[in-house]
Amino acid sequence: MAERRFSEDELIAEIFAPLAGEGAFGLRDDAALLPLRGAREVVVTTDALVAGVHFFPDDPPGLVAKKALRVNLSDLAAKAAEPLGFLLTLSLPPDWTNDWARSFAAGLAEDARAFACPLLGGDTTATPGPLTISITAFGRVTRFVSRAGARPGDRIFVSGTIGDAALGLGVARGEAFASRLGHGARATLLERYRLPQPRLPLIAALRDHASAAMDVSDGLVGDLAKLLRASGASAQVEVAKVPLSAAAREAIALEPELLSRAVTGGDDYEILCCASADAASALALAAGEAGVALVEIGVVTAGAEPPQFYNSSGTILKFSRLSFSHF
């Protein structure tokens, strides 16, 4: 006999309440008490994922849940904020199933535990449209690292590798280059698209040494332009220094124009940050000790023009689009 679908109350009590942390009152209240854990300053951030826009409707529900949480944790990491908890708003389409809800919650529970970021509350609602997941995350900071603190002379760093997710989206879409990639590269790029790694280990390094930071979610080129606009500065970036994975290099070797996609495409969820010339080596060292490589890619300059990206022969590169935009 087919299992009856959960009511709204059952969905909360049976599926999500087991994830509830301190201050969540077992999800039985209208609201939660944020566990401040001695915080003097609290960072709040929110990001929504829409099926068909940010993920494929048939992506594994546990992975979708993790991505929804991780894109928010990535914002916390960029602000040097240690996670305190999160709220989840789920707008469920007519065809949701109990199995979907169980898998979604299982993935969410794994990450909530792994990143010490408990569920505090939320809202569930029906929608005639696509599944929409909105998460608000909270973190505590001792020093908020804004986008606006970059100054001429500062060195520019980026964590991990850039472009894997944008190329992974190409793999997911079955683009021509994907079939020519080795199996390992295909799997790596796809994994990086589906499951970002929030760079929480960088929190202390950013707090102690960075002049400005943000996460790279809409493409390195466009996001650096945003950081510099907020800071009232410009920059020179050497494209050859932008860290690329072996998988991304394999794809770019097949189709050189994919380099442009790698540096302008979205979903990296790496940290873009700056530090004064004096603090730059301490920043890189602290990051390395935390297990996340930060690579220097350029320097902040005076001026209001967008950052210039040049190649090893000194030619300034032009990009047809700077970054991902929804509209």
Alpha carbons 136 and 118: distance in angstroms, whole number = 12
Residue 99 interacts with a copy of itself (CB under 8 A): yes or no:
no
Please identify which residue in 15, 19, 69, 92 interacts with a copy of itself, judged by CB under 8 A.
Answer: 92
Q: Strand, coil or helix: what is 9? A: helix
Identity of the residue, 128 or 314, whose beta carbon is nearer to a copy of itself in the bound complex: 128
Which two three-digit tokens encode residue 22? 């301190």
144, 172, 254, 295: residue in contact with a copy of itself (rule CB under 8 A): 144
Q: DSSP secondary structure string, 182-227?
A: -HHHHHHHHHHHHS----GGGHHHHHHH-SEEEEESS-HHHHHHHH
11 is a contact residue toward a copy of itself (CB under 8 A): yes
What span, in angstroms and rounded, lies between the C-alpha atoms of 242 and 248?
12
User: Of 112, 136, 188, 247, which lies in the binding site for a copy of itself, with binding defined by CB under 8 A?
Assistant: 136
- Nearer to a copy of itself among residue 142 and residue 282 (C-beta): 142
Q: Which stretch binds a copy of itself (CB under 8 A): 146-154, 200-208, 252-260, 305-313?
A: 146-154
Q: Which is nearer to a copy of itself, 42 or 290 (CB)?
A: 42
Residue type, 61: P
150: alpha, beta or left? (left if phi > 0; alpha if psi -120 to 50): beta
Q: Which residues are paired to 244 by β-bridges? A: none
Q: Residue 131 or residue 294: which is nearer to a copy of itself going by CB?
A: 131
Taking a C-beta distance cutoff of 8 angstroms, is the pair 195, 66 a contact? yes
Task: Specify the stretch interacting with a copy of itself by CB under 8 A; choose among 102-110, 193-201, 224-232, 301-309.
Answer: 224-232
Q: How far is CA 326 from CA 218, 265, 322, in A?
A: 10, 12, 13
> Does 211 help bind a copy of itself (rule: CB under 8 A)?
no
Site map 30..69 versus a copy of itself, x via CB under 8 A: xxxxx-x---xxxxxxxxx-x-xxx---------------
Give Rg (Cα) of the chain: 20
Query: Where along the sequence are the contacts to a copy of itself (CB under 8 A)?
Result: 5-9, 11, 25, 28-34, 36, 40-48, 50, 52-54, 75-76, 78-79, 81, 87, 89, 91-92, 120-130, 132, 134, 136, 138-139, 141, 144, 146-148, 214-215, 226, 229-230, 325-327
